[in-house]
Amino acid sequence: MQKTFEELKKEFGIENLDGLNDAKVLEQREKYGENALKEKKKQSLFIKFLLEFKDALIIILMIAAVVSLIVDPHEWVESLIIFVVIIVNAILGVYQEGKAEKSLDALKKMSSPTCKVWRNNVLVTIPTKDLVVGDVIVVEAGDFIPADAKIIECSNLKVDESALTGESVAVDKDATEILDHIVGLGDMKNCLFSSTFVTNGKAKALVTGTGMNTEIGKIAGALLESEDTETPLQKKLTQVGKAIGIMALGICAVVFVLNVLKPTEDGVELGDKLLDAFKIAVSLAVAAIPEGLATVVTIVLAIGVEKMAKHNAIVKKLPAVETLGSTNVICSDKTGTLTQNKMTVVNVYLTELKDLKDLTENEKTMLLYFATCCDASISFEDGKEVRIGDPTELALLDANNLYGRKSNLTRVLDLPFDSDRKLMTTVVEMNGKYLAITKGAPDIVISRSINNQELLDKALDANNTMATNAIRVLALGIKWFDSLPDADVLEQNMEFIGLIGMIDPARDEVKDAIAVASKAGISTVMITGDHVTTAKAIALQLGILHEGELAITSSELAKISDEELYEDIEKYRVYARVSPNDKVRIVSTWKKKGYIAAMTGDGVNDAPALKKADIGCAMGITGTDVSKQAADMILTDDNFTTIVEAVKQGRGIFANIQKCVKYLLSSNIGEVITIFVASCLVLIPMFAGLGTPLSPIHLLWINLITDSLPAFGLGMEEPEDDVMDKKPRGAKEGFFSNGLMGKIIVEGIIIGCLTLVAYLIGHFVFNHVIGQTMAFLTLSSTQLFHAFNVKSDHTIFSKHTFDNRFLNMAFIIGFVLQLFVIYCPGLNTAVFKFEALSVVQLLISIGLALVMVVIMEISKCFSKIWDKLNIFEKLVLILVSIIIPILLVFIIKPVIKHVSKRYDN
């Protein structure tokens, strides 16, 4: 049995149903708590730290370090360094995870739902979590119910309770329903429940339960499960990482066998030979594994999401960042998105079309009727104007406040606006009679009016005149009743009164944004509920509608089959008078045609289309909670320009991730090539004395410093100037498409060859230790220089080359640290087993590293020629690029010896 309002007031300690004051709100919050569900207990730092070691690549490294320590305990330094690197990587991962959680929490706060509530006798909008038991809330079509509540009064209220009951049909609510026995949730007609939403009508209700004390709170376990935020890209890169790990193990086995098979020097026992072979295999494993790949990609995505938030685009789902870069059609609502959403009444029509000067009393009365048939409100709070409601209705209130009549008409019945009826009706009591005031689309109101046809035809002419000038027109009809009428007769056989015209000017910046989108291969389509002539006028003004392209109405669209729409979808640029089903149909057809479609919307009727689109963009200011829930992204400024900027940022983020992956993998392939080719060369008699060019400690240091820091810098790149001059990525285009993997392999081979040449020069001209030191410096320097090659597809000799401060700092820090470990006494010989290089050796190493820049500049110039080569031709060029540098070592060996001796003397 339900409690009465009197019993509830006594239980909650409230005096009336007019809303709480600030003191009572604090008291209720202290007693009942915040209106929020308990969150899932977060993992401790220690557990997060341990989970960082579950990666397959990290496990391979740990096994290699442990086995190396067991095989040769004297060489404990290298194993220690491996563990240090792994631990540092884990700490970075935990730190980044914490940072990402904070970013997501911040984004949740920015996009957190709000509700309308009576506080201190004023209707205000507050965050849903601030609601308390005893509050009086107001909800209307499109709103989520913020808490459990008992309805005080309602009008034509329907609520979708499927989230709670599973019942897909909206439930009719009735404030007068009395329940004197226990019933199921679905039959509690006079109650509202948290997390359900209003599909029609409006209501005023008393909050009876918040947070975990709501019905949804009692079954909140399922809601506490955190979403999987791993994006398709991250999953793909995880698979790449595993493939690299398996490949590394295979190559390690081959290298181990090769080094066992090489000719044994005199006095070297088999055990020592096996130990050396194992060390080389461990080095290769270290070289092949891109330890920082997953961390870097996660950081780049997190940075991208934060950047987009600063540009007024809140990304709710990380995959949206990736999809944005592929968007090639934007289906945009007109009002507030393409226009300023500042509706202003400019014309009235009673018997003649005129502006708002010298209005007659009848025209002033018409303004009053328009303002009365509105759900919007304008109030003042702490000296500030608070405007709540639809911009069109706010414009009507403004017009009446400035030019109309002041009157407090008592509303006794409402039929809320419905997108199918395109009408709203309010019944007021006047002088013992009831007046039904209906406002809505002129064609609908006029078609239901009983005035003489000549008057109605003139009204239609006035409507067309205004609509042609991009003026939005509303019509007004009235009907008198002696007694309170039934709802089904309100909007029939009305007396047509007049028209009102208002304009929502196009945003100044939108025309340029549409031009940028068009240049980027993105089509802009207007989908609006406005009259077709109004929509066409705005579309022409903004550059959406061009010669040969068409505008179509909902009724005309209904006559077109799905097959015809599929064939001609590219022709239509404006859809007017659309219904919710039309929006879904339009978006679905674009998708079937192979386009990646973004869709904007703000109403509950937009939710299905927002969900259907590849990128659903809800309006942050005018958007309903339902539309925000269905969307992938929320535009906090309701601006079309923000979508285009978000696409630009999305393309930039994807490009940055590709740069990071290209940089890291090419560097690791270069390290693998160095060790693998050196291992193969030892089988040739003339190279029999070769050792390992780089030991595990060298490679780990390079991977930790030279790889990771520049990779982070590449992730912070701003989108390139021409990023919106390119066509979008194809819907089925893979991450490594357009020859990216081929470029990675070729660049890796070049890095490996240059490093190997440095080692061979050092080894044969000087000694093995010098060879290793030169190889180390050449490899690290080549990678540092290569970061600037990867930064852009354009030449390195550009004014933008050094505009990334983080990348510049990473380069300087990386270079200084490499020289530090080579020249720091004790550290160089005891830990890294290096020998300080002479000036000649240093210049040779740096010179070889700069060769990478020269080769990349040539490749950028002749990229079109390279792309035309077949696989065989590319392989021949690669093999030649490996063999020639090795042969050159022996040709220039005497020259290097001579110059070095002369310089030393």
Q: Integer distance in angstroms from the first to the last C-alpha of the chain?
A: 105
**Beta carbons within 10 angstroms of residue 800's beta carbon:** 14
Residue 542: name the closest of 725, 339, 336 by CA.
Answer: 339
- Is 172 designated active site? no
**In this predicted model, what pLDDT tens digit does every residue of 22-40 receive, in sequence order?**
889 999 888 888 887 766 6
CA–CA separation, 655 and 661 (whole Å) = 10
**In this predicted model, what pLDDT tens digit does every residue of 530-567 receive, in sequence order?**
778 778 888 998 999 988 899 999 889 999 999 999 99
SS3 of 834, please?
Answer: coil
**In this predicted model, what pLDDT tens digit does every residue of 323-349 receive, in sequence order?**
888 899 999 988 778 877 678 899 999
Q: Are 441 and 528 in contact (CB under 8 A)?
A: no
CA–CA separation, 314 and 302 (whole Å) = 12
Q: Which residue type, as a one-letter code, is found at position 523?
A: S
- Is the model's pLDDT at 784 over the cut of 90? yes
Range list of H helices, 762-838: 768-791, 805-823
Q: Which residue has the higher pLDDT, 903 or 2?
A: 2
Strand runs (DSSP E) across 534-586, as ranges?
Answer: 550-553, 572-576
Least confident interval from 638-642, 730-734, 846-850: 730-734
Q: Are 494 and 448 in contact (CB under 8 A)?
A: yes
CA–CA separation, 38 and 210 (whole Å) = 12
pTM across the whole model: 0.69
CA–CA separation, 204 and 151 (whole Å) = 6
Q: What share of the chain is helix, strand, coil (3-state, %, to 5)?
A: 55, 15, 30
Burial status of residue 754 (CB atoms within 10 A of its CB: 0-12, 13-18, 19 or more): buried
Nearest-5° angle of CA 638, CA 640, CA 641? Answer: 110
SS3 of 261, please?
Answer: helix
Mean pLDDT for the stretch of residues 739-759: 88
| DSSP H/E element including 191 | strand 191-192
CA–CA separation, 147 and 135 (whole Å) = 10
Out of 143, 333, 390, 398, the active site residue is 333
Residue 304: name the closest of 700, 652, 565, 69 by CA.
Answer: 652
Nearest-5° angle of CA 635, CA 641, CA 643? Answer: 50
Residue 223: name the closest of 44, 33, 39 by CA.
Answer: 39
CA–CA separation, 16 and 32 (whole Å) = 19
Q: How many angstroms from the chain centroid is the CA of residue 727?
A: 20
Query: What's the token pair of residue 48?
Result: 């997060």
**In this predicted model, what pLDDT tens digit does every residue of 95-132 receive, in sequence order?**
756 665 665 565 455 556 788 999 988 888 888 889 99
Q: What is the per-residue pLDDT for 291? A: 62
**In this predicted model, what pLDDT tens digit does every residue of 827-875 receive, in sequence order?**
888 888 899 999 989 999 999 999 888 888 888 877 767 667 776 776 7
**In this predicted model, what pLDDT tens digit does every residue of 469-502 receive, in sequence order?**
778 899 999 999 999 888 888 999 999 999 999 8
Torsional sign, CA 631, 635, 636, 639? negative
| DSSP H/E element including 439 | strand 433-440
Distances (CA, A) of 712 to 321, 631, 780, 895: 18, 30, 16, 41
Q: List, as one string, the DSSP characters of 339-362.
A: B-S--EEEEEESSSEE-SSS--HH
- Is the model's pLDDT at 307 over the cut of 90? no
Question: What residues have CB less than 8 Å from 806, skipping those under 6 apart?
Answer: 712, 713, 716
CA–CA separation, 894 and 486 (whole Å) = 107
DSSP label at residue 762: I
**In this predicted model, what pLDDT tens digit does every residue of 434-479 receive, in sequence order?**
999 999 999 999 999 999 999 999 999 999 888 877 788 999 999 9
Mean pLDDT for the stretch of residues 586-594: 92
Distances (CA, A) of 525 to 278, 324, 605: 63, 17, 18
Burial status of residue 384 (CB atoms within 10 A of its CB: 0-12, 13-18, 19 or more): exposed
